Structure 1
Amino acid sequence: MHHRGFDDSCGLECVENGHDSNKFSLLCSGSAVTYASFSSQNESKAKLASSAAPDSGATKGGSATKIAWEDTFEVAMQRARTEKKPIMIDFYTDWCGVCKQMDADVFPKKDVITESDKWVSIKINAEKRPDVAGAYGVTGYPTIVFAEGTGKPLSVIPGYSPSTEFVGLMREARAKWKPEAAA
C-alpha cells in the first residue's frame, strides 16, 4: 500500500511505500524522480535544502578517500576498455537535491569508495549530455547505470539508495559483468 501526501512548501509529493514506512518516493510533475529514506517529511526537506553541490573536483587514479570520477563519457568508455573494467554512470542535474544527497551521504562512504575502485566511474549532468542520458532512457535523477565497458547496461538504479544498499547493488551488477565484454 502506498500513501500519498503533497507538501506545498517543498513542492514534492511524498509517496510512502507500504513495505517500509520510512521510504518515500519523491515525485516531480507526476513522474517518479527518486527514492529517499527519511524519518519524516521535515527531515527530507532539511536534508534536501542543506545538500552540497556535486563535487566536480573529485580525484582520479585510485584515491582511497573519494571516488575517482572521470570527467567525460568518452574518456570513461576508453578507460573501461583499456582497464577491462565495468562502468558506473551517475546521471544527475544541478538542481537535484537528492543527487546532492547521494554526493554527501553515499559516495563518500568507505565501502562505496572501495567497491568503486573496481569500476570506471563517471558523473554526467543529464542536462548537458542529453544524448547520453537519452541513450540509457534516463528520465529521473539521480539514476545510476552500471554498464559493461562496451556501454551495454548491466543494471539501472533510479533514485536514492543508502550506502549499504548501494554497495550491494554495485556488487550485483559487477557479478553480471563479463570481463571479455569489456574488450
Structure 2
Amino acid sequence: MMRKRILILALSSLAIIVFVFATLTQGIEGNGKKIEITWQTFDKGVELAKKEKKMLVLDIYTDWCHWCKVMDKDTYGNPEVVKYAQANLIMAKLNAETDKKFKFKEGNYTGQQLSMMFGVEGFPSTIFLNSEGEMITSISGFIPADRFTLILKYLKDNWYERMKFDEFVKKNKS
C-alpha cells in the first residue's frame, strides 16, 4: 500500500514538473532565447512598412486597459503569431493617450488624434494598414491568437479582395 502511494506521488510530481517546464519554454527558440515581436513606434512603423513594402499592424492601446494587457500576453506572445509577424509584417504600438506627436501623411498628430482618425471606439484596437499607410480595416477588442493568425494571413495575402473572411476561414480550417 505504501509503495503504491509513493509511486502515485512520484508520478504526480513528474507530471507537474513536465507541465511547468512546457509552460515556461513555450515561445522559446532552440537557442534558449524567448522570441518576441519587434515593436516599432507608429511613425517608424509607417516608414518601415513603406520601405519594405509590408503591411503594418498597429496595436492601439491604453495603459489602463485590461484586455490590452491580455492581448499582449496571449495573442502577441503566442509563438505562431510572433513567427508569422516577424517574417511578414511590420508591427507598431500606439498609446491612444500619448501627447507625443507622430508624423503621418502631411501632418503631426498625437496618439489621441490618430486614434480618432482611425475611428477607434474601444481598446485594444488593431488597425491594419497597407504599405502606403492606407487603412485596410480595423478590429476593436481582444482577438484570440488562432483567429488573429487567420486574420493576418487573410489581409497580408490580399484575400479580402477575392472572398469574405468567413469563406476564407472555412477554406483554411485544418
Same fold (TM over 0.5): yes
CA distance in 1, matches of 2:149, 2:34: 16
Runs of 4+ more than 4 Å apart: none
Q: State the match for 1:176 in structure 2.
A: 158
3-state secondary structure, aligned to 1:160: coil
3-state secondary structure, aligned to 1:122: strand
CA distance in 2, matches of 1:81, 1:151: 8
CA deviation after TM superposition for structure 1 residue 64, in Å: 7.0
1:25-51, Cα deviation, whole Å (9 max, x unpaired): xxxxxxxxxxxxxxxxxxxxxxxxxxx
141, 152, 162: which is aligned to 2:144? 162
1:65-89, Cα deviation, whole Å (9 max, x unpaired): 011100x221111111111111000
* Pair member with larger Rg: 2
Task: Please tell me the residue identity of whatever aligns with 1:124.
Answer: L
94, 103, 122: which is aligned to 1:140? 122
Using the aligned pairs only, state the percent identity: 31
Task: Please tell me the residue identity of whatever aligns with 1:110.
Answer: P
**Matched residues, number:** 115
1:99 paired to 2:68:
yes
Q: TM (normalized to structure 1)?
A: 0.59
CA deviation after TM superposition for structure 1 residue 146, in Å: 1.0
What is the root-mean-square deviation in Å for CA atoms of aligned residues?
1.9
Structure 1 unaligned residues grouped into runs of 5+: 1-62, 178-183
1:76-124, Cα deviation, whole Å (9 max, x unpaired): 1111111111100000000100000001111111110111121110010
CA distance in 1, matches of 2:66, 2:127: 19
CA distance in 1, matches of 2:129, 2:34: 23
Q: TM (normalized to structure 2)?
A: 0.62
Task: Please tell me the residue identity of whatever aligns with 2:146.
Answer: T
1:122 paired to 2:104:
no
CA distance in 2, matches of 1:151, 1:97: 28
More strand by share: 1
Say whether the 8 Å CA contact 2:50–2:133 is kept in structure 1: no
CA distance in 2, matches of 1:148, 1:138: 18
CA distance in 1, matches of 2:131, 2:81: 20
